[in-house]
Structure 1
Amino acid sequence: MVIELEVQSQDIKKYRNGYPLIRKDSLSNPGALKEEGSIIHLVDSQRQFIAKGYYGKQNKGLGWVLSLNQGEKIDYLFFKDRILKAFNKRASYYQDEQTTAFRVFNGEGDGIGGLTIDYYDGYYLINWYSDGIYSFKEKVLRVLDELGDYQAVYEKKRFDSKGKYMEDDDFVKGERGDFPIIVKENGMNYAVDLNDGAMVGIFLDQREVRKAIRDKYAAGRRVLNTFSYTGAFSVAAALGGAASTTSVDLAKRSKPKTIEQFSMNGIDFDQQDIVVMDVFDYFKYAKRKHLSFDMVVLDPPSFARSKKRTFSTAKDYPGLIQDALEITEKDGIIVASTNNATFGMRKFKGFIQKAFQDSGKRFKILEEFSLPGDFQTNRNYPQSNYLKVLVVKKLD
């Protein structure tokens, strides 16, 4: 059964031009939506067709547009067409022996919002972002089976299923992996576990940033990696000839995970500092101990809450930069990163400018990064290009 949703007049042009996110505030009758996975027709007040999609609650949306063609069926052939096109675009990645982990399908950038598929050296990891897209699971798996040549498929259900699909095992089909497996990224080794909770061990969207740290910026520098997770930036810095690395993260499991990543690259982890501590407490500790660094990596979560504080990149990033500046040497480098999709690069650069101005310091932006090529974006939806990274030099 197809549900007709009337688009309010001010948003009709936006959807006709390819805007993909079905927003509640764009609709006159959102109450018509009942069951996630239902096919939706967006129409105007005269019931003229605008676009079709599916109902699946994700972040600020009620679903995603899938087609501007009224006659196109949302069936197996639809999913095959979209996924095959995406895989063909990444054909060169499969040939690269130095990089064996990358994204092969990127949501709305490849035509199906709410769905991503990553490749990890023979294993596929599917991320489902709503109950609605999960209802198409068998179609997606059938496409992967037809494409063939994989070891196994794993999945992450990144939505509140209210117990509907709750299980600890993310294995779907194929031959189970003996985790961790080792993937390569520009010749660096990273340990990955696809069946160990929400995170797998590495964020693939930072590939080009890690390469730049290794190849251009780390040599001879004392590097502080904050919100370090599994220490991937620290590994890149150490392989790039850093004088020292210090990795700081509040999560207790970050230490054994970081040790693991160093070990996979033949780096003596005993020669690296790995600290389990709140990053903001570490800044205070470093000032007390008169510690300073030549490079500081800042890659905080968009939103985080600990016992002591709440952090939001949208309002707190300038303060984070100021904290880092106090322990960064002259001519030192700050790698400032955020994956917050609610603001763009211009605003992010404004955060940098404000922090340096308030600190009475001057700076120069050496390089900037957004998503790598395998993370296809949608030009009609700027939020799909969420990653913003600036390499900033402190001039005084």
Structure 2
Amino acid sequence: MKTLQLKAGKDKAVKQHHPWVFSGALETIKQTPDQGEIVRLINSKNEFLAYGYFNKLSKIAVRAIEWVEELEVDDQWWKGKIKASIDRRQNLLTSTDTNSFRLIYSEADGLPGLIVDKYADYLVMQVLTVGTEVRKQLIASYLFELLKPTGIYERSDATARSLEGLKASNGLLIGKEPQEFTEITENGLKFVVNIADGQKSGYFLDQRNTRKRVSDYANGLNVLDCFCYAGGFTLNARKAGAKSVTSVDSSALAIDMVRRNHQANGIDYSENELVKGDSNATLRRFQEENRNFDLIILDPPKLAPSRSAVDRALRAYKDLNLQALKILKSGGLLATFSCSGGVELNMLKQAVAWAALDAGKEVQFIEQFGHPEDHPILASFPESEYLKGVMCRIV
């Protein structure tokens, strides 16, 4: 095993079990490891720090994965880490009303760059780092052995792969090809998921608990669900007894999935309530039409892909919430979210406060939302937290 040494004063984060080691923290490498090769990290005093895997093409040169020197990072180590992550989801694996959730959440589960989502009897893998790329068939074989899914499909098409020097990679790894739509169950509701072509790994599993919680407010209300995608908030609101739900998304595939999901659950809907269009433009059109709602849900895509984009994103969040507040009835509720890791909860709340000021409305924050239990936030890796939201009331 090759040993890489950190410069003096650059070992603090590794000692605190943060997994990222940037190339600038390393002393000159005398013998360059292969891509994805396991290396031994030491500090300037030649003391052991951690084992990790190497990438010469990334700014993050080493992803630390093991801090116990006596443990060998071999094939059985990988199997043990995968099994441990699965075991932590036993409450979800035995659930009777939800069969789809995240099994492995990258650094937060000690496996940087590996995301595995369960959709009924299928698993979807996202492989985002070189260290997991060179072992993805091994990882897939262990997942298949442990869970016996119908198939394991790879959806490694995130832009983060390019930062690792990797190209997009999609396709079947083990088992049977998924059909165009796979039916899953979430909170007792049925949803169809397009594993091969849907957004992310096919569906937004991270909002499972929040969809249920927001629906608790929906009984008897006229609801607007913007950026609705497959209709997760929409269907939960209808199940909870909403008077009406208008669902908006710019994707024709998304609107078709909302339609299919109503039908899968035997829930009546009006085609006039399914709006294919830009959510920002639709909010402005509803202002012109003097349409008002009791509950508005804003769950936009990531607006700040990097720290440098945060200021621009906050302006976009502020404008989006402003347009929503303008058509929200007095006493109405606004559930608004950000999935941008660089946008902190207090920043989102500030954007809403600015929007309320410009709208001439007084707003209370009555509830805060975050990750479900299958998307844990590792204490030593705060970057694993990205999803946040608030429920607001106009007073």
TM-score normalised by L of structure 1: 0.88
The 5 A counterparts of 1:213-362 are 213-214=214-215, 216-270=216-270, 273-303=273-303, 313-362=313-362
> How well do the aligned residues superpose, as a CA RMSD in angstroms?
2.8
Question: In 1, Cα distance between the equivalents of 2:101 and 2:378?
Answer: 18
Corresponding position of 1:2: 2
Correspondence 1:370 to 2:388 = no
Corresponding position of 2:184: 183
Q: Kindly tell me: are residues 54 and 294 of structure 1, through their superposed partners in 2, closer, same or farther at Cα, counting changes over 3 Å?
A: same
SS of residue in 2 equivalent to 1:237? helix
Q: Kindly tell me: are residues 325 and 180 of structure 1, through their superposed partners in 2, closer, same or farther at Cα, counting changes over 3 Å?
A: same
Q: Deviations over 1:83-114 (max 9, x none)?
A: 11111111121111111101111111111111
Post-superposition offset of 1:124: 1.2
Asked if the contact 2:103/2:116 (under 8 Å) is kept, the reply is: yes
Identity rate, percent = 26
Asked if the contact 1:152/1:175 (under 8 Å) is kept, the reply is: yes
Asked if the contact 2:33/2:39 (under 8 Å) is kept, the reply is: no
Corresponding position of 1:46: 45
Question: In 2, Cα distance between the equivalents of 1:318 and 1:105?
Answer: 33
Q: Which deviates more, 152-161 or 329-338?
A: 152-161
Q: Which deviates more, 108-117 or 15-24?
A: 15-24
Counterpart code for 2:345: M
The 5 A counterparts of 1:1-20 are 2=2, 4-7=4-7, 9=9, 11-20=10-19
Q: Kindly tell me: are residues 73 and 230 of structure 1, through their superposed partners in 2, closer, same or farther at Cα, counting changes over 3 Å?
A: same
Q: Deviations over 1:144-199 (max 9, x none)?
A: 233142211111113239997666x5211113333412111110111112222554
Counterpart code for 1:392: C
Corresponding position of 1:113: 112
Question: In 1, Cα distance between the equivalents of 2:123 and 2:225?
Answer: 29
Corresponding position of 2:84: 85
Counterpart code for 1:160: S
Corresponding position of 1:133: 132
Post-superposition offset of 1:353: 2.5
Asked if the contact 2:230/2:257 (under 8 Å) is kept, the reply is: yes
Counterpart code for 1:21: W
Q: Which deviates more, 87-96 or 195-204?
A: 195-204
Corresponding position of 2:162: 160
Counterpart code for 1:206: Q
Q: Deviations over 1:103-155 (max 9, x none)?
A: 11111111111111111112111111123321111321232233142211111
Question: In 1, Cα distance between the equivalents of 2:385 and 2:203?
Answer: 19
Q: Kindly tell me: are residues 164 and 58 of structure 1, through their superposed partners in 2, closer, same or farther at Cα, counting changes over 3 Å?
A: closer
5+ long unaligned stretches in structure 2: none
5+ long unaligned stretches in structure 1: none
Question: In 2, Cα distance between the equivalents of 1:83 and 1:7?
Answer: 32
Question: In 1, Cα distance between the equivalents of 2:304 and 2:115?
Answer: 24
Question: In 1, Cα distance between the equivalents of 2:257 and 2:80?
Answer: 38
Counterpart code for 2:72: K
Asked if the contact 2:296/2:328 (under 8 Å) is kept, the reply is: yes
Q: Kindly tell me: are residues 257 and 60 of structure 1, through their superposed partners in 2, closer, same or farther at Cα, counting changes over 3 Å?
A: farther
Correspondence 1:212 to 2:213 = yes
Counterpart code for 2:365: I
Counterpart code for 2:375: F
Q: Deviations over 1:204-258 (max 9, x none)?
A: 11011111122x1111111111122222211111222112111222223222122
Asked if the contact 1:115/1:126 (under 8 Å) is kept, the reply is: yes
Question: In 2, Cα distance between the equivalents of 1:59 and 1:321?
Answer: 37
Question: In 2, Cα distance between the equivalents of 1:269 and 1:40?
Answer: 57
Counterpart code for 1:189: K
Q: How many residues align?
A: 388
Question: In 2, Cα distance between the equivalents of 1:46 and 1:163?
Answer: 32
Asked if the contact 2:304/2:341 (under 8 Å) is kept, the reply is: no
Q: Kindly tell me: are residues 62 and 285 of structure 1, through their superposed partners in 2, closer, same or farther at Cα, counting changes over 3 Å?
A: farther
Corresponding position of 1:192: 193
Q: Kindly tell me: are residues 27 and 346 of structure 1, through their superposed partners in 2, closer, same or farther at Cα, counting changes over 3 Å?
A: farther
Post-superposition offset of 1:62: 4.1
Q: Kindly tell me: are residues 171 and 366 of structure 1, through their superposed partners in 2, closer, same or farther at Cα, counting changes over 3 Å?
A: same
Post-superposition offset of 1:325: 0.7
